[in-house]
Each structure stands twice: as structure tokens, then as C-alpha cells.
Structure 1
Amino acid sequence: MVLASGVLVPTAQATVVPTRQADALVGNPVEKVTIAFERTTATKCPVTFKIHGYFEGLPAGPQLVRYRLVGTEKWKSVKVPASHGEVFHAVLGTFNWDETTEQTSVQVEIGQPDGLTSNVLHYFKCGSPSSGETFGATAEKITLTPSGGPLVELVADAYLDAVQAVSGAEVALVSRYGFRTDLDEGPVTYEELWATQPAGLAVDVNAMTGAQLKELLAYRNPSGWVLTPSSSLRYTVENGTVAEITLNGVPVTDTQVIKIAANYILMGGWQGFPQWTGSTSVYHGGPDDRGALASYIVNNSPVRAPQGDRVTIR
């Protein structure tokens, strides 16, 4: 794999740490590191993307944190200022992938004695994994029902997880349209991911008011489906209107503005639901939906089935 990499760090220029300096670093200053994907090109392949890093548990004062991509030998570093707060954020690298790129995932290792690693991010638009490769596992069968059910709820959670850190998205919405089959219990193969979501659509984020969201959620497409939300949202449709709706357990008001993740086809009105007219674009840097689902399963493996009860229709 060839990575064209230029490290972009808002607070300081990242540098390569000399061996003696690296050897002198002791202790485990980072308790947790999370990375997030941001696509910066309109094309899905070739793609240029940034890797955002979020460091937690740093002790007080300035720090020098070493990191490298898993599978590479070259260590780099990021300078953390004294006023870093509870979570320090920096862009760890900008990469170019094309159809010649063999790798489909990115993970970061921290240069400290415990060998701390981040979550794994997958992206499939520039190439498919090797035959037989698996992506985490399910603890039980995750079923696809006529209206969506547990499988579509799982995908909604994966959408939100993929873009939340960078975009500030609060909820994800997914249509039952295009889904083909359940996810069986056990290791998840790429063939299963492909069968689950054959379109491979990018995940974007738009903002709309609570009133606009209620109107969208009240709509039933010609097949009788409504939209399936991530776990942060629950709603009830009664007599063609949204009678109850909560975001993170709090009732949604008509005037509040909510950032919502979805694939761009759904937003455009091409999955049997209305176009998101009047919404505002927030973020167009998410991964493809199969990559989002693979990342979510890998990082939460073994995954259990959601309850399939986020939407009530009376």
C-alpha cells in the first residue's frame, strides 16, 4: 500500500521522534485514543481523507505523544499544550487512497509501554478485502424485518458512530430500502456486509429543525415504512403525525436545530421518502455505509441485536 501522508496538527507541527528521545519516554500518559474519518474529496475513489485523533486521560501540563499507523514502523508525534482539557483533538494525517491501495482500514498505536491502540476505521470504496476476511462478530442473529427492525437500527447506530466526532451529529436516520438479508450469528464476512448494504453509499450530515424532523418522520413511503433512527432518538407516529419524540431522552421542540446523519440518497428523496428540503448541509466527509458498519461491528464486537423498538406506530 502507498500512503501519501502529510501530518496536519492544529496546535503544533507533528514531527518524527528520534530513537533516543523515543526510548526515554516512559509511562502511559494516554488512557484512551479514538480516531475518526473525514473524506475531503467529492470522489469516493480516489479518495483523500483525514484521520482525526482524540486523546483522553492526559496528565496536566504539556505532553509529547508518539503515534504511528498500525503496521508501519515510522513514529510521529504531536505536541499537546498545557491547556489541553479533558479531550485533546488533532488531525494525525492526510492520506490518499486509490484503486491500487490494498489496505482497507486504519488504526493508530500510541508509543507508550502499554501499546495502546485506537479503534479501527474501514473504507471499502477503493477496494474489497481479501476473500475470507472477517470484521468482528455478532453475538446473535440480527434480523431484518419488513419495516427494518434490529438490523436497520444497528446500521443507524453505525452511521452515527462514523460521523459524530467530526460533525457533531446527534442522530442518524436509515431507510429499510436496499437492505437484503439478516446478519447471522458469528464472524461477519465482507460478503455479508455487501449483501446487507449493496449500494455502498456515503454518510453525510444535514441539520433541520424539530418541526421539520417531525414532518419527515411522520411520512410513510409506498411500502408503509417509516425511517429508522439511531438509539439516540425514539418516536411515536399516531394518526399520521408524530405524537411523541425524544432525543437522548429529552422531548424535541419544534424550534431546536438537530444535526442528522444519513446517506445522501435518502437526503435527496430517492428512497421513497421526501427530499430534505429546507435542511442545511453540515458535513459531507463520512465513509461509505459498508465501511461504517464494518467499523462499528469490529469496534463493538461481539455485537448484540438492538431491540427493534425505537419507533411505535399506532
Structure 2
Amino acid sequence: MEKVTIFFERTTASKCPLTFKVHGTFEGLPPGGQLIRYRLAGAGKWKSVKVPGSHDGTYTTVLETLAWDAETGRTSVQVELAQPGGLTSNTLYYFECGDPPEGATFGEAAEPVGLTRSGGPVVELVADAYLDAVQAVSGAEAALVNRYGFWTGLDAGSVTYQELFDLQPAGLHVDVYTVTGAELKRVLAHPNPVGWVLTPSASLRYTLEGGAVTELTLNGAPVADTQVLKIAANYVLVGGGQGWPRWEGSTAVYRGGPDDRGALASYIAKNTPVPAPQGDRVTMR
């Protein structure tokens, strides 16, 4: 086996206490049925998952259902496999039931990731983290993040919890909503008195010109007005808060994501050292 990746799925509405599933994807499997032994990092007991004979080298299943509360104070989960040479998964972080150990870091920024008046690289990084946190389980196609609530960018080097907290202190969950292309264009074109724009993940790009969205693409393809997209966002933005209109006709299709700080920490740790996005996903003319 070459790689194991885990994904978070919250199954309770409250921030804490919460119950969540840990999905695992195993890649690089040899042909045929097999038994994979795994355990939560730091645990003593090994468990097993049975892989059926019919697979294409990849297999995904739910590995664990965990319950955390303020007494457990847990903030992270990782899986390790019993195989020659060992193999560990990425680490998932969730910060609403406790604070990480003092001095803990969550990967590195390869360079400064700046915050601009309209959003810029650091907000693009967060949008990418939003999408990465929920895409595998929900099928989300893109993410949108509001400049509101961001106080700073990231310095180059190790990323600390204080930096994550200073960057986005709200601790809102990442959810997924459906929205039509026409409605999305209306929301994106809404005039913001401070000059902010809604910042997309790398999969989504748009152009603002004369108070309207003149171009909107998803993975490089134009988005039709009747097209229905799955967008990761927080409920405050979708509900019409933070200086933006309500997403009319939208439907919540997934409410299983982690908190926004946990999503960002997980993304940076998994992709470390992370480069700064270009800050060019929104074109204003």
C-alpha cells in the first residue's frame, strides 16, 4: 500500500460535544481481497478493515466513529497502519472541544501569505482548505469565503494555533450548499461598501465588470445560469450575513464539515510547506 488519507464527517449539529466519522481511503492496494490492520495514532489496539476482491487499487470506508467533548479535550486524529516500514495518514484537526498543546504547530507556509483589502492570497488559501475538508465526502465542487473576519495573513515558517486564531477567530463549521449559476452570479456581484469580494477556491474563477459578473468558470468551463453547483461555505455567509445577500433557493446538502480553523490546520499540515496562492481568482475591471 502506498498511501492512506482520512476525512472528517461531523454527525452532530453542536460544535462540542460532537460525534464524527473518520473516513479512510487506501491507495496503491495490490489485487484481490485483503485485511488491513490500522489503529488511531497513540492507541494500543489494532483494528482491521476487510477490503473486497473487486477494487481498482483504491478502497474507501468509515474507519472510526469518535465522540469528543470538553473533558476529552481532543484536537486531532491520525491513523497508522501495521505494515513493513509503517504508514501514517494525514492529521485531521478540530478545535472546538479544546486547545492544542502549547507550542503546537501545523505545518509550514513556504512564504508569506498576505491579506489584501479585498481578500487576496490568505483568503484563497482558506477557500482551498474549505473545499479540501468536505469534497471527498460531500462532492463539493468549489468553496467561497468572505473577507469579513480576517485580521491578518500568515508569516513564512511554522504555523501556530495563535496564527490560525488571529486569522479567523469565528470557528464556524464548513457546510455545503447547492446554488444555481444565476443566483451565484447575483451574490458575487452584490456591491460591498468596503470593497470586499467573495473569494473562491482554485476551482472557481469570476470577473466583475460594471457591477455584474461577466465571466464565471468552474474548473475552466463556463457556468450556465441553470447549472446547479455544490459550494462549500459557512452558514452565516449563505444566510445573508457579513454584508452579503442571502443565497435564494439554495439548499444545505451537507452539514458534516469541521470548524474553519481545523480545516485550515488540516490542509496546511497535509500540504506543507504550502505556497501562497496568487490572489488572482477574481478579476475586477
TM-score, length-scaled by structure 1: 0.89
Give the whole-Å Cα distance in 1 for the aligned partners of 2:266 and 2:33: 32
Give the whole-Å Cα distance in 2 for the aligned partners of 1:83 and 1:293: 35
Identity in percent: 70
1:304 aligned residue: 275
Give the whole-Å Cα distance in 2 for the aligned partners of 1:121 and 1:241: 39
Match of 1:251 among 201, 214, 222: 222
State yes or no: 1:196 paired with 2:167. yes
State yes or no: 1:146 paired with 2:117. yes
User: What one-letter code is carried by the residue in structure 2 that aligns with 1:245?
Assistant: L
2:45 aligned residue: 74
1:267 aligned residue: 238
1:282 aligned residue: 253
1:100 aligned residue: 71
1:6 aligned residue: none
1:292 aligned residue: 263
Give the whole-Å Cα distance in 1 for the aligned partners of 2:44 and 2:222: 50
State the secondary structure of the residue aligned to 1:254. coil
User: What one-letter code is carried by the residue in structure 1 that aligns with 2:21?
Assistant: K
Question: Which 4+ stretches in 1 moved above 2 angstroms?
Answer: 84-87
User: What one-letter code is carried by the residue in structure 1 that aligns with 2:89?
Assistant: S
User: What one-letter code is carried by the residue in structure 1 that aligns with 2:68?
Assistant: W
State the secondary structure of the residue aligned to 1:158. helix
2:10 aligned residue: 39
State yes or no: 1:155 paired with 2:126. yes
Give the whole-Å Cα distance in 2 for the aligned partners of 1:220 and 1:173: 16
Give the whole-Å Cα distance in 2 for the aligned partners of 1:48 and 1:175: 28
Alignment of 1:194-233 (within 5 A): 194-233=165-204
Give the whole-Å Cα distance in 1 for the aligned partners of 2:139 and 2:258: 15
State yes or no: 1:84 paired with 2:55. yes
Give the whole-Å Cα distance in 1 for the aligned partners of 2:243 and 2:183: 17
| Per-residue CA distance 1:63-116 (angstroms, 9 max, x = gap) | 111111111111101111111234311100101000012331111111111211
Q: How many residues align?
A: 285
- Give, in angstroms, the shift of residue 206 of structure 1: 0.3
Give the whole-Å Cα distance in 2 for the aligned partners of 1:116 and 1:220: 49
Give the whole-Å Cα distance in 2 for the aligned partners of 1:114 and 1:168: 33
Larger radius of gyration: 1
Give the whole-Å Cα distance in 2 for the aligned partners of 1:310 and 1:33: 31
Conserved 8 A contact 2:74-2:97: no
Give the whole-Å Cα distance in 1 for the aligned partners of 2:260 and 2:120: 18
Match of 2:24 among 53, 71, 81: 53
State the secondary structure of the residue aligned to 2:87. coil
Give the whole-Å Cα distance in 2 for the aligned partners of 1:79 and 1:45: 32
> Where does the alignment leave 5 or more consecutive residues of structure 2 unmatched?
none
> Where does the alignment leave 5 or more consecutive residues of structure 1 unmatched?
1-29
State the secondary structure of the residue aligned to 1:152. helix
